[in-house]
């Protein structure tokens, strides 16, 4: 399965917004199972060294499913070169099944394993394991919400009980993460790896509106971590938006979705300077808002900048 982290490492020539849109179009072709067209779009978008490790990994998935092993391996090699480290995901990914009987597969896995072993030699292993357990508990009840809501409804006792369990777990996780930050500073990817570092961010992102001051207080630390390459800029953008929403201010990146109380349908929370939101999203590695909206099951028509209106 493809990974939908949009990681833009830019070179000159194509704008961030154009690159983000090109990759979003390639993703759409993948979702439509037009794998060859998806691979071709990735090739065009990622030429001349553009794009990040996840983009090349996704391109490899499309080409593997399209039956072109040479192009799939070329993108996988580029993904590893640019920092792809999730070897367990790659080994289990069904999209890449057609590559595993090729002699190049074993060579690539060994190359990646050597890279992973070298990186993990410097990890704080106990802290990594603690944060990965936190990640599991953070996601446990959230993964159940959709099915329980569909089966019993959002007002049901089953759904409300699930919410209570999730909130209690969130508070326990927050206490652990606060203690970790107090002792170690931000647990960045160089200290614990991507998944564990992301777990710490998720716990902060899931702080309740009633404790918004805690979330807001961590923003400077998150910004500093992103500036050092220890946290993705896209993660910080999502937290910036959530803090703004909790403070009844328009969001900047359009990451926050709410349910319209009148139509009971999903929509974006108010966006500041909406006509230019995709430029801001692309600058931090987020896909265009039109594509993001599809994840929540609704269509979005981009706002038109005032100067282009007639």
> Could you list the pLDDT tens digit for every one of the 310 residues in the chain?
555 443 333 333 335 556 777 888 888 899 899 999 999 999 998 987 778 888 999 999 999 999 999 999 999 999 999 888 889 889 999 999 999 999 999 999 999 999 999 988 999 999 999 999 999 999 999 999 989 988 999 899 999 999 999 999 999 999 999 999 999 999 999 999 989 999 999 999 999 999 999 999 999 999 999 999 999 999 999 999 999 999 999 999 999 999 998 998 999 999 999 999 999 999 998 989 998 998 888 999 887 766 555 5
Residue found under tokens 């001349």: 48
Q: How far apart are CA 246 and CA 167, in angstroms?
A: 17
| Dihedral pair phi/psi, residue 259, rounded to 5° | -100, 125
pLDDT at 200: 98
Q: How many helices (H) and strands (E) does the chain have?
A: 15, 2
pLDDT at 289: 94
For residue 217, give the nearest of 248, 177, 258, 169 by alpha carbon. Answer: 177
| Residues in contact with 11: Cβ distance below 8 Å, sequence separation at least 6, in sequence order | 48, 49, 50
Residue pair 291/28 in contact (Cβ under 8 Å)? The answer is yes
Residue pair 165/172 in contact (Cβ under 8 Å)? The answer is no
Q: How many CB atoms lie within 10 A of CB 31?
A: 12
pLDDT at 300: 93
What count of Cα atoms within 13 Å lies in the side-chain half-sphere of residue 180?
26
Q: What's the pTM?
A: 0.77
DSSP one-letter code for 185? S
Q: How many CB atoms lie within 10 A of CB 252?
A: 17
């Amino acid at each position: 399965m493809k990974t939908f982290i949009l990681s833009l490492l830019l070179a000159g020539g194509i704008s961030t917004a154009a690159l983000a849109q090109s990759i979003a179009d390639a993703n759409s072709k993948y979702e439509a199972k037009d794998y060859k067209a998806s691979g071709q779009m990735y090739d065009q978008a990622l030429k001349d060294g553009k794009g990040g490790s996840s983009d090349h990994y996704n391109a490899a998935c499309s080409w593997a499913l399209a039956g072109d092993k040479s192009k799939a391996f070329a993108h996988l090699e580029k993904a590893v070169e640019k920092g792809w480290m999730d070897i367990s995901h790659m080994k289990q990914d069904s999209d890449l099944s057609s590559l595993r009987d090729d002699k190049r597969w074993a060579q690539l896995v060994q190359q990646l394993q050597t890279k992973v072993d070298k990186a993990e030699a410097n990890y704080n292993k106990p802290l990594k394991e603690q944060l990965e357990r936190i990640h599991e508990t953070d996601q446990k009840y959230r993964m159940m919400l959709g099915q329980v809501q569909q089966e019993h409804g959002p007002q049901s006792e089953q759904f409300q009980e699930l919410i209570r369990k999730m909130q209690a777990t969130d508070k326990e996780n927050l206490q652990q993460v606060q203690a970790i930050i107090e002792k170690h500073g931000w647990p960045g990817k160089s200290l614990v790896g991507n998944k564990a570092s992301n777990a710490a961010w998720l716990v902060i992102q899931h702080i309740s509106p009633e404790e918004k001051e805690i979330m807001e207080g961590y923003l400077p630390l998150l910004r500093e971590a992103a500036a050092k390459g220890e946290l993705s800029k896209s993660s910080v953008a999502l937290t910036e938006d959530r803090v703004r929403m909790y403070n009844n201010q328009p969001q900047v990146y359009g990451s926050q979705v709410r349910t319209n109380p009148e139509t009971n349908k999903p929509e974006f929370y108010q966006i500041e300077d909406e006509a230019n939101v995709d430029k801001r999203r692309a600058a931090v590695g987020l896909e265009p808002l039109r594509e993001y909206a599809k994840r929540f099951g609704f269509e979005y028509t981009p706002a038109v900048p005032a100067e282009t209106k007639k």
